[in-house]
Chains A and B, each alone.
Chain A
Amino acid sequence: MKKKLIAMLVCIGLVASLFAGCKSSSDGGQSGNTEPTKGASQDAAEPTDEAQGETPAIALDGTWPEEHVKIAVECFDTTDEGFLALQSYLDYLTDYYNISFIYSESIASAEDELSFIDSSAAAGCKALIAYYNVTKEEAVKACIENGMYYWSADAGLAEAFKDNEYYLGGYSFLKAGDDSSHNGDYLGGYQMGYSLANQGAKHILYCNGGVSLGIQMFIDRQQGFFDGVAAAQAEGSTAVFDQKADVIGGWPGTDAFAAAQTAALDKDYDAIGVSFSAAVWFQPIATVGKTGQIKLATIGGVTDTFYDAFQTGQMACAVYDCEEVVFGNSIVTILNAVTGNIDIARDNGVPAAIYVNRWTVADADSFTAIYNYHDEGKYFVTAEDMTQCFPAFNPEASYQTVYDLYSALDLETALAKIK
């Protein structure tokens, strides 16, 4: 009897689920009825004369684009503060646009990356934001094979895929026409080194992270740092820096790093450039009683990790890739591509290279202002700002509109916006 009752309840459940997708006829047959009325179809296909040439009033309430857009985001470390900040910004955008995101785990290998791309395609993703790329061209090829758009920060891939419309390009730290083959990591390292040497440092140490492991990102940052210090020295800085003796590698958690860090703190360094989070130096510096005597520079976000350090003068400089400026343009580019406006997504048929500014925050006031602005839930590029880049909202939108919106936001403009 009991079994029969359970079976009956299961049957009722199954039958109910069959009708779950149907709505009553009072909803105008939008979902249940597959044959729309003649009048309705005419309304949709033939706009009235008054409406022609005018922007349709589209609400920014998460209903545009009409078809939901899923976007995959690949990252190298899900706990990275920069990535978490980007994630927070992307989640904010989901309240205003009909989009959602699938985030990767920490990608550690080529296999992980290609598997993530395949599974994202299977989940219905229309595009991939490559916050990280292990396999370079292979990742782009995998996206193309799966019919996904690819947005990347890696300028080196543009030449190989310039004719493929699935390759959207990305941002660039170089203005159009700038003659440089250096990438963002090099430039970040350069700014760190230049800034430290230029701020009166006497003896500089560089903490290079994964250079000895052959990780390209760290190699580029190191080279940039070396060149940045050299450039400042050429301009008159008296900072002492030896590219062999004044460099240590590795990360916390290893005995080798702890030993190298202690050996370094025994010396007379008064400035340290760190190619990853400088926060790993705060406590060791405090332990040896050198708080305030050593200035730190890092590539990192405007986050609460560095808030106190800036207030106490421990931080000399944070090279900051503002998430909504540097990576936020990916959403504009991708949404234009998936809504059929590929001419806006790409620059005259070639992959986009939207110039963005990397902010070198070198004083506590600027840091605090940016920190507080984000803390209040405000962004330098809001969901509303982005609408000017979409023809659905602004018929005049073009690639140049996107370029102008993002390239204009340097540190000074951002600080002015706050005031």
Chain B
Amino acid sequence: MSRKITKISKNIIFSLAIPAVTYVFFRVLCEATGHPGFGVGSDLQTIIYTSVYSGLIALAMFLNLTSGRLDFSIGSTLVLATILGGNIAKELRCSGIVFLLITLAIGALIGLVSGLVYVILGLPPMVVSLGLAMIYEAIGFIFNKAKGVKLIGKSDLLIYARAPENIILIIIVLAILVFLMEYTRFGYNRNALVSGQKIAVDVGINEKKNAVLCYVLAGAMLGIAGCVYLSKYGMMTPETGLSSSSYFMSAFLPIFIAGAIGRYSSAPIAVFIGAVTQAFLTSGFARMGMSNSAQAIVNNIIVLAFLIYSSNSYIFLEQRMFKEKLEAAKAARMKRQAK
């Protein structure tokens, strides 16, 4: 029992270490450099908003990326679901919750189309998603005469950019995802496919069905992310010429952080912790008045550092394993010599 408690405590500490250190670092730095206000008041609201918004995009990307499917249509799915969902909600004059459900459903539907096209065509996911991104962008552009969606001032709909609504939202989303990943056949199958696709398929797992479900879930996440975005800015314009691909750039750091702390927590929670860390970084930089280009440089260095760590973390594991084996061999030899 105590071993289990120790393990859980260790997992919590290691999972929260990176965001905690980042928060403390920026809090001290901002105070020391005469830039108060980091992580409190409205800045905390922005950190929560950024964590939820980027976290949802990162979760959508994570669902497919870990199975080797880099989805270029993430941004266009988000934009299209938001434009369609927002305009429908505006026409129907519905509540914030119905608005969320409509956008979520449209996102999931777009995800279903993406998944079906991927499994039916059997082309590399990057090729398929590039083509679909262009189609989704074009639909978003044609719809509503290229005006996108404008809900400025509709406070009854735009409730997901502020706490506690966005906190409740992300808790529900994470709870559903953790349940799906850890306690359902879909989750087991997905994990098996991520670990070893060929073996998983050989033992009878339906890879195509699993892939389609991943796309549907990702689409739903993007629909929710669109609601959060719309709640913040009140409007969204269509994207063309693959410019929607910029939307998923903020998803990489959370995913790489999740790669580093993934063994201490469930994958969706790890991704969200990564998004929180990223939100601390951007908010800290903004408080200190760092320019966008300088922020981009630092952010990408951090992404690179996590990528290097994630790609080489097996070396530490190997070294520990070799050390344990060496010690065991030495102990065995000592034992033999003693005899």
Contact = CB atoms under 8 A, between A and B. Distances in A.
A266 B152 CA distance: 20
B184 interface: no
Contacts of A212: 291-293
A313 interface: no
Contacts of A280: 233, 235
B233 A284 contact: yes
Interface string A245-259: 100011011111111
B195 interface: no
A105 B240 contact: yes
A160 to B, nearest CB: 29
B293 A213 contact: yes
Given A79-B148, A245-B289, A280-B233, A253 B246 contact: yes
Interface in B222-261: 229, 231-235, 237-241, 243, 246-247, 250
Contacts of B147: 84
A106 B146 contact: no
Contacts of B122: none
Specify which of A106, A256, A288, A305 lies most central, judged by the most chain B CB atoms within 10 Å of its CB: A256
B23 interface: no
A392 B162 CA distance: 63
A75 to B, nearest CB: 10
A386 interface: no
Contacts of A245: 289
Contacts of A8: none
Contacts of B53: 255, 258
B87 to A, nearest CB: 14
Given A79-B239, A265-B42, A283-B232, A256 B293 contact: no
A255 B250 contact: yes
Contact of A254 (B234, B240, B250): B250
Contacts of A105: 240-241
Interface in A252-297: 252-263, 265-266, 279-280, 282-284, 286-288
Contacts of A249: 291-292
A279 B152 contact: yes
A279 B235 contact: yes
B285 interface: yes
Nearest to B46: A262
A78 interface: yes
B233 A266 contact: no
B240 A258 contact: no
Instruction: Report which residue of A250, A252, A258, A305 has the largest number of chain B beta carbons within 10 angstroms of its beta carbon.
Output: A258
A255 B274 CA distance: 14
Main secondary structure of the interface of B (DSSP, over half): helix
B286 A308 contact: no
B118 interface: no
Contact of B282 (A84, A259, A282, A286): A259
A7 interface: no
Interface string A299-310: 000001100100
A226 B142 CA distance: 38
A148 B229 CA distance: 44
A102 interface: no
Given A287-B162, A308-B152, A256 B282 contact: yes
Interface residues of A, number: 39
A282 B243 contact: no
A108 interface: yes
Contacts of A286: 152-153, 155, 234
Contact of B232 (A258, A263, A305): A258
Contacts of A112: 241
A283 B152 contact: yes
B33 to A, nearest CB: 14
A149 B116 CA distance: 47
Contacts of A79: 141, 146, 148, 237-240
A309 to B, nearest CB: 8
B43 interface: yes
Given A78-B240, A266-B37, A283-B158, A260 B148 contact: no
Nearest to A282: B152
Contacts of B155: 286
A255 B146 contact: no
B153 A283 contact: yes
Contacts of B152: 279, 282-283, 286, 308
A253 B247 CA distance: 7
Contacts of B145: 84
A287 B293 contact: no
A78 B243 contact: no
B144 to A, nearest CB: 11
Contacts of B81: none
A315 B338 CA distance: 90
B141 A258 contact: no
Contact of B50 (A106, A244, A258, A266): A258
B295 A256 contact: yes
A258 B50 CA distance: 7
Contacts of B215: none
Contacts of B161: 287
A262 B292 CA distance: 15
A280 B47 CA distance: 19
Contact of A250 (B45, B234, B292): B292
Contacts of B150: 279, 304-305
A157 B293 CA distance: 30
Given A78-B141, A262-B42, A280-B235, A106 B292 contact: no
Given A252-B233, A262-B45, A283-B153, A84 B293 contact: no
Contacts of B289: 244-245
B49 interface: yes
A262 B239 contact: no
B234 A283 contact: yes
Contacts of B235: 279-280, 282-283, 305
Given A78-B141, A283-B152, A308-B153, 10 more contacts: A77-B240, A79-B146, A79-B148, A249-B291, A249-B292, A250-B292, A255-B54, A255-B279, A266-B41, A283-B235
21 contacts: A77-B240, A78-B141, A105-B240, A212-B291, A212-B293, A213-B293, A244-B289, A255-B282, A258-B282, A259-B50, A262-B42, A262-B45, A263-B37, A263-B46, A283-B231, A284-B232, A286-B155, A287-B162, A287-B232, A288-B42, A308-B152
The 9 A-B residue pairs whose C-beta atoms are closest, nearest first, are A283-B234, A259-B286, A262-B46, A255-B282, A106-B241, A212-B293, A259-B283, A212-B292, A260-B286
Interface of B: 37, 41-43, 45-47, 49-50, 53-54, 141, 145-148, 150, 152-153, 155, 158, 161-162, 229, 231-235, 237-241, 243, 246-247, 250, 278-279, 282-283, 285-287, 289, 291-293, 295-296
